[in-house]
Amino acid sequence: MPHATQPQAGVGGTVSRHLRHRRAVLRAELAATGHWRRLIRAKIDLTVARGAGPGPLTAESGGARHLNALNTDLRTLMTIPASGFALTDLPALRDLDKRLASHESAVRRELMDVTDRLVEHLADDGLAKQPM
């Protein structure tokens, strides 16, 4: 059964234009999916950090004043908000990442298939244009 977006054989460049367009759409989808996965993994990391964040730095190799300044800046700049990072969200976030990974894999397989079809079409078109 032909792919739902597969064009019917027709005028020379129509098929290759369609396949190139489909590849562009799939590449954009891969980029968006990858972006969402990075965001989900970052939220997982922040959620875990909120639940089990590191304690203050204690080794005074740079001096107590330096260490106090570092700890103050870490607390100020790296405070994770209490809302939106509940530990109870972790299973749902991990499940969402798995589903996104599955989608990413399916898109990647389709991109490979479309690329193969484009290469075959271009090779067949090139052979047809060669003089005998």
Q: In whole numbers, what is the pLDDT of the chain averaged over residues? A: 84
DSSP of 8-26, one letter per residue? PS-SHHHHHHHHHHHHHHH
Write the pLDDT tens digit of every residue in 35-51: 999 999 999 998 888 77
Write the pLDDT tens digit of every residue in 61-105: 667 777 888 888 888 887 777 677 888 999 999 999 999 999 999
Q: What is the pLDDT of residue 131?
A: 61
Query: Please, which residues have CB within 8 angstroms of residue 72's CB and are 6 or more apart in sequence?
Result: none
Between CA 5 and CA 29 the distance in angstroms is 15
Calculate the alpha carbon distances from 100 to 27, 39, 131 in Å.
Answer: 15, 11, 48
Q: What is the pLDDT of residue 2?
A: 41
Q: What is the pLDDT of residue 24?
A: 97
Q: Which one is predicted more confidently, 4 or 68?
A: 68
The structure's pTM equals 0.71
Q: What is the average pLDDT across 28-32? A: 97
Which two three-digit tokens encode residue 64? 């107590």
Instruction: Please name the residue that has the structure tokens 């004043």.
Output: 65
